[in-house]
A and B are shown apart, each in its own frame.
Chain A
């Protein structure tokens, strides 16, 4: 009996190690992206089916392994597994953590989003926006992750590290499910990675704090001093620290300092034309269209972002585009954060030619590919923008926009505080 019980340990641990090492390959590629500062640790192809297949392979390999080497040194292999888990976890946490310590993980809220009705965002977008609303919270989450990662780098503190990480990522997992993030496998993976370390000491913890009994520490250690791997270990540890602390940390910091963001286009917007604009006149094919609360083809308001995006609020309902991949993109053309998972407005990328003041707009939502405009842009005065031109169907269009001196409570309240009575906005 005991023999079987003992042997069942490698089966489980083996399953973990294989599962981990296979996923690890995907994440390694992603890790390069992270270090080169275009991070994405999610693989869109990873599904529960993949996981099930890996599990099957793992069990098969474990059985094979057991039949070959029935007298395996379990302690040693388990020890190796924990080392792997700890460093794998630490690498993820450091990258994810630094991106939050220097709050790059979510972008600041765009003007278009500030001017979108609450009900028009999908759940996942709501989660990200709510994090954007208070970067201080994100910084806190990042500090916890980095601190846990540091604890994981040392065998003696690794257990404390996973005690932080399991509830942390358990919570992330539930948030992923609740907000339909679709990437609950990542948080699952992180929790899974922490289990070998956690389970190893769990019995001792229970004995110590639950039974309040006299507790012996873990006895088995690998004797590095007698191992020829001693030097490799030192070099490995140092290079790990260099890559993940200094490189990732520095990159995150510098991106933060330069006010870069990972979500919006990097191309500059129009000089002097940034903000929300009301639509004063709207003339389609020579007919002036009056404002209306119903669908009539008229625009309601227009936002010029600081980058080359223009968004238009319309009465029509909008078919929302969902991001195909959750990888964080590098090129502007793939940066879809601002227009996916949200309705109420149409989002256009624009190009402006300085010589002839021609503004061309192209709708970025894949459901509106034909939607485009070509305008002659002029400014009757510093608060107004006049657009004259045609839409994609060749209709002539003339729109007069007037700057809206919009104050946002989200920002204003930070100045006045919430304890004030009679504050007007």
Chain B
């Protein structure tokens, strides 16, 4: 502890300066309730989290491994996600936990009364509770902050999104995109969040960090309500924890600045013996090394090679860009350009990653999720269609350059994956999987997985896990791809296959094949230059060259 020269005031970081006087009865009861409540709300309540942490490969880490450590649901979920049947906007778990903590706290009071083991105060326990809450809040917000510090949480809009009308987006999408177009601003938000989190690791700066968190996360809570972002509960969580950490400061602040009478923050800090002190500093150093140093590096790798919301595989270079659909034949029948034709493709884009998008003039089932989460397979990274209407379809493609064939797979699937499993109630689990297979038969694929890509081509395509830069081939990625084939069998997706012909350096691309309904398809695409009024700056995520 550095003891700076601050005139002659009492400043002593051992126990002596706090007058360890008797706490009144109400304060002791309140403390017991808060203690149980905040402990419960600071530890993960989901078995997935524990298995995840147990299974982490520490020698080939993925940014998401650490992210998942930092992000988890908590509280008493034994009674489900309602309080007497009410969801309370998702806050019912807090209320349930509070009810549980109140009962437990009162029992605790009763027991110490019966045993006549009543303590005068709980200064030491309060210190430890603060430590737990500080680290919980600090780590949690750092996990979030890094995805902004390296701007990947709100990606820059894809070509397909730039071509989507403003009215065809959800409010959530609009907010996320409006952040995505200004990556430096996102970096600033990330620096603020990581900075605030780091300040919580140090006793002296707790108040500053917590105050910053209340402000920043308070605004995020309102954003989530206003734009229907879906993570209002988890962002409120940080506000709640921060307000708790600020408890010792309210009264002194009020006294000095409002009442204008002298005051002091009364906080107890235990004095550790040397061995414990060594343990303390080692743990602290380890935490900072891992969750700031290592995390920074991992998030950099993610930003550089594998931005988690956009596909990581580079798109075929010869045809990237916006295309007009000059000719369109279905089963040999020509469909001339007509914006009201419900069959014809209206326009198309080949993204810089492995996605083909096209627009149709007819209603489509929509993915209204946030399009985030942790999928590693490109086909499951759906930011480019989530929250997007206007007939926009997106297909992931594998390209076989030997036979000049594209194997396309719809990014939309009627039964979405559950996302952020580790986070559980601390995350946005995406759209809940509550429709049955019978409901989705109408979307059933007419081209099965086996029929789609012949074995010989499959061999040529190689292992998709290796499509990214070696540094992004984390154990997490490899494990997910090891299971990918099994999971794919259970998915319901539209698929189709086309041969492509590239003319004139990709100015014209001709696609011939069968579409998802086994109708024969003939499409002539001509490159068009869109006169967009925004353009990506230098801070661009991903490696697509």
Q: Which residues in A have some Cβ–Cβ distance to B below 8 Å?
A: 109, 113-123, 126-127, 129-130, 133-137, 140, 156-157, 159-160, 163-164, 167-168, 174-175, 178-179, 201, 204-205, 207-218, 278, 290-294, 300-301, 317-318, 320, 341-343, 406, 408-411, 413-414, 417-425
Contacts and interface: CB of A to CB of B under 8 A. Distances in A.
Interface string B437-466: 001100000000000000000000000000
Interface string B143-183: 00000000000000100011111111111101101100110
Q: Could you say which of B171, B259, B262, B365 has the most chain A C-beta atoms within 10 Å of its C-beta? A: B171
Nearest to A138: B226
B208 A215 contact: no
A125 B177 CA distance: 13
Given A421-B416, A424-B363, A133 B171 contact: yes
A214 B185 contact: no
B271 interface: no
Interface string B246-274: 00010011011111111111010000000
Q: Chain B interface residue count: which class?
A: 35 or more
B435 interface: yes
Contact of A214 (B9, B181, B388): B9
Given A122-B534, A136-B225, A413 B170 contact: yes
Nearest to B267: A212
8 contacts: A121-B534, A130-B174, A136-B226, A175-B185, A212-B265, A294-B526, A318-B531, A410-B168
Contact of B9 (A115, A130, A213): A213
B326 interface: yes
A423 B368 contact: yes
Contacts of A127: 178
B293 interface: no
Contacts of B534: 119, 121-123, 126
Contacts of B80: none
Given A178-B182, A293-B347, A293-B528, A119 B336 contact: no
Nearest to B325: A293
Given A137-B227, A422-B439, A157 B324 contact: no
A214 B264 CA distance: 5
A212 B264 contact: yes
A408 B167 contact: yes
A119 B4 contact: no
B253 A208 contact: yes
B165 A208 contact: no
Nearest to B433: A421
B257 A217 contact: yes
B389 A425 contact: yes
A204 B435 contact: no
B407 interface: no
B6 A213 contact: yes
B204 interface: yes
A119 B530 contact: yes
A423 B366 contact: yes
Contact of B168 (A204, A408, A417): A408
Interface in B490-528: 526, 528
Contacts of B9: 207, 213-214
Contacts of A179: 182, 185
B387 to A, nearest CB: 8
A131 B263 CA distance: 42
Given A411-B167, A425-B363, 19 more contacts: A117-B162, A117-B165, A122-B534, A134-B227, A137-B226, A140-B222, A156-B258, A163-B211, A167-B212, A205-B257, A208-B265, A211-B11, A216-B256, A290-B336, A301-B339, A413-B170, A419-B368, A419-B431, A423-B366
Contacts of B346: 293
B226 A214 contact: no
B188 interface: yes
Contact of B166 (A109, A140, A291): A109
A317 B261 contact: no
Contacts of B262: 214-217
A308 to B, nearest CB: 21
Contacts of B188: 174, 178
Contacts of B255: 217
B531 A343 contact: yes
A354 to B, nearest CB: 31
B164 A118 contact: yes
B544 to A, nearest CB: 19
Contacts of A114: 165-167
Q: Could you say which of A117, A204, A425 has the most chain B C-beta atoms within 10 Å of its C-beta? A: A117
Given A122-B534, A126-B534, A425-B366, A134 B167 contact: no
B338 interface: yes
B91 interface: no
B170 A215 contact: no
Contact of A209 (B249, B414, B415): B249
Interface in B1-27: 4, 6, 9-11
* Shortest Cβ-Cβ A-B pairs, 7 listed: A114-B167, A119-B162, A317-B531, A119-B532, A178-B185, A293-B324, A408-B167
B10 A214 contact: yes
Contacts of B260: 156, 217-218
Contacts of A130: 174-175, 178
B236 to A, nearest CB: 14
Contacts of A157: 257-258
B195 interface: no
B416 A118 contact: no
Given A217-B256, A293-B326, A418-B230, A210 B267 contact: no
Contacts of B531: 120, 317-318, 343
Contacts of B336: 290
A174 B216 CA distance: 14
Contacts of B340: 278
Contact of A208 (B10, B162, B252, B388): B252
Contacts of B4: 211
Contacts of A424: 363-366
B454 to A, nearest CB: 32
Contacts of B182: 123, 178-179
B51 interface: no
Contact of B256 (A121, A175, A215, A300): A215
B533 A425 contact: no
B122 interface: no
Nearest to A413: B170
